[in-house]
Chain A
């Protein structure tokens, strides 16, 4: 394992730093259109945001609204999720509240005389009110002027078409919605559109387009009058992240849009607002001070305990817990729980430096074992002379000497637990919030209250934890929406839990984490596992420390909890579980497939793809397909969603292992629902394994 897989860090890109150091705003940056993606007004362009950029926009006009989030998945691929309102388009006069997904792929980059070319699908899953496909080319004419022309199908071909080259467009079978409308793609009338964007100043961009969107349904509903095909717009950028867009649309309407841009690589606070690490203390040379190198201290039992106490104290000051230690004449192993640093290499680097100040000179080999929920998950072996030699060098130098191993495969060296580490009790009283979005009656409802949480660790890996919540203020219980699900309500009665479960036991579990064998991890959880289910959950994970692949199996037998979220249960129980495969594709892409039985007893699979940045940001999407019929699933046809994780340390610059996570699901239904048990093994251990540690190794000396 020595020196393996270090290319990702070794071949650092000088150009990337250059861009970071001398960030120069290009004269003409991609400007968002009304659909959130880079565009003109309603028409798309072939532009992309820089890789990794996340945007959010809110667009309003003529009673309609589009809220769009986009993510630049790769340099060429853009994805978007949208929540929109189209007023009064149903025959009964009610508005359509709709969720839609877009993708755009840039096929060609602009080069010499060639324009950039992109292909895109708008609203390609779902009820399809905005469905349209396009191929578009954009060319920079002068540094401040960019011209765009393209061909649009579907809604983008609903005005001024020039025929149907690929046959007629079949009428959309909406069904329950939620499926890709593949039989419609690039069918039906096609219309040419074009437009211009001009950077008047570095902050102001003006845009004009010829739109081929006929707004047929809106016009028919009488909410919209389309008198012209020419749209005008401007974008004013307040700073790098916020901008305002205004439009004059179709000769009749005025629209306004607010845009936010977030770059996960550009933190709002300087990274590393923390106390400096202890400096390495080098040993005297053996010739200058031979007595210091003697090993007769091994006969004195007080040395081990003295070193351990001092080291535990130093690490505690640095937010780490020395759980156990084994010290011999030439080798020391320490097992450490990192409670402070998001990047495990930073924690390991600090332990290594503390060790140079704590253990006798004859100890040359440092084995630093990371602990997670009481389990030893990885050992990093370093030579003390390398630490002394490389303290002021690039981090890749010490990485080349580091050896990653599974602690279960090492020799039993007589680890001594640090006195006073177990049992351990922590508690907290903190505010909580809970919100409901996408409810057409009231798109945003929320509750705020207090949460009392406690955690008692009897021994390494044996943990009793729970939390109680009491609402103080909120309007979630105002919701009158009753689940229309025709199958058993395994998840869709959330409103009942919110209404009746005030002052409720959110969760109360006894969990046991262990290492049954090398490369294997296990978890057993019993109790009130989550807000809606209680029971027993068991999990086994295979994950070698240097492997990109992990395999897991989870089996649960659970009963649905009563709406009051106390100790009683409803008359529904189910055996649910999955086998899972996890794979680290590299370049920050992580995939996961879970195959098994869901809470409703439906069988199927969940596919998840995450883009994880080295600083802990994560953007992902998942979809679950089960044998439940679309009719039984109801609106949306199958479960899908996007998820976002932001590390707290990114927002503050201060060290923290905490992350804020959010899952945006268009709909909360009963098919393809999984148990939400805490402490699943893969995410518990991954940050301490070789792949993640190599990506974050730049923080070793920090």
Chain B
């Protein structure tokens, strides 16, 4: 029996080599060949994770919730380009993201940790680096209604990688309804918006999800609460600097 941490494609050793990981309790790997030292790093991570689980529970999340206005102000001071604030509900952390890419109507916004949200006309089309990401989404029909602040029914498609890493579409039938008007100020800008709610049902399962958008008369999505996917849940996105 062999058990060996090896680079891809490496053949097996004759005798059993029990995962280098276990031994790493006592030893820390080092060197420039990451393919060989990685086992140690992972094992240390696992050990830390287990220790954290076993030790008494500490208060989850940051002690102080950052105030969106002050976070927006500091982000605007340090980043000159377009900005958004985002909060993934399951993760809880409110973060500023700056625009790092623009391809047609598609904007890519990145956190300082190089995780990204990708929006097309304010509608979420992809995420990266979060884990179990939204690979892409077909949102043009939905955008056609939402940006014009109109009710109606549309189809949309979300795409994800399944457990094997194969891309799978998740088609949904959605109905868009108009909600109340709402005016608010944020980060030095005034927005007069109308709320639009998009309620979607997967065409092949019983899964239902909802998205909400607060859209100005010129079709700017000033604030939104959008579904990313089954694993990540919803994200709230606030426009800071268009």
Contacts and interface: CB of A to CB of B under 8 A. Distances in A.
A538 interface: no
Contacts of A652: 42, 45
B9 to A, nearest CB: 4
A547 interface: no
Given A437-B16, A656-B38, A699-B165, A392 B103 contact: yes
A430 B135 contact: no
Given A279-B103, A531-B14, A614 B164 contact: yes
B31 interface: yes
B133 A272 contact: yes
A522 interface: no
B242 interface: no
A273 B15 contact: no
Contacts of A291: none
B106 A391 contact: yes
Contacts of B151: none
Nearest to B132: A270
Nearest to A641: B1
Interface stretch (A9-17, A222-230, A362-370): A9-17
Interface string A422-456: 00011111111111111000000010111101110
Contact of B1 (A281, A614, A663, A683): A663
Contacts of A9: 166-167
A230 to B, nearest CB: 38
B142 interface: no
Interface string B169-213: 111000000000000000000000000000000111111000000
Given A391-B103, A657-B35, A658-B5, A431 B167 contact: no
B161 A271 contact: yes
Contacts of B108: 276, 279
B238 interface: no
Nearest to A588: B164
A11 B42 CA distance: 36
A153 interface: no
B9 A684 contact: yes
Contact of A430 (B20, B120, B202): B20
A664 interface: yes
Given A17-B169, A339-B34, A436-B16, A279 B135 contact: no
B35 A21 contact: no
Contacts of B163: 20, 263-267, 615
B230 A21 contact: yes
- 8 closest residue pairs by CB, A with B: A279-B101, A270-B131, A265-B163, A428-B31, A698-B167, A433-B18, A276-B128, A430-B29
12 contacts: A14-B203, A271-B131, A271-B132, A343-B165, A430-B27, A433-B3, A434-B16, A448-B18, A652-B45, A660-B5, A676-B13, A687-B9
Given A271-B161, A392-B125, A683-B10, 8 more contacts: A18-B207, A427-B32, A429-B31, A658-B39, A660-B6, A661-B10, A698-B135, A698-B167
Interface of A: 9, 12-18, 20-22, 263-267, 269-282, 339, 342-343, 372, 388, 391-396, 425-438, 446, 448-451, 453-455, 472, 491, 494, 497-498, 530-532, 613-615, 643, 648, 651-653, 656-665, 668, 676-680, 683-684, 686-687, 695-699, 701-702
Interface of B: 1-20, 22-24, 26-27, 29-40, 42, 45, 100-104, 106, 108, 110, 113-116, 118, 120, 125-126, 128-133, 135-136, 159-171, 202-207, 230-231
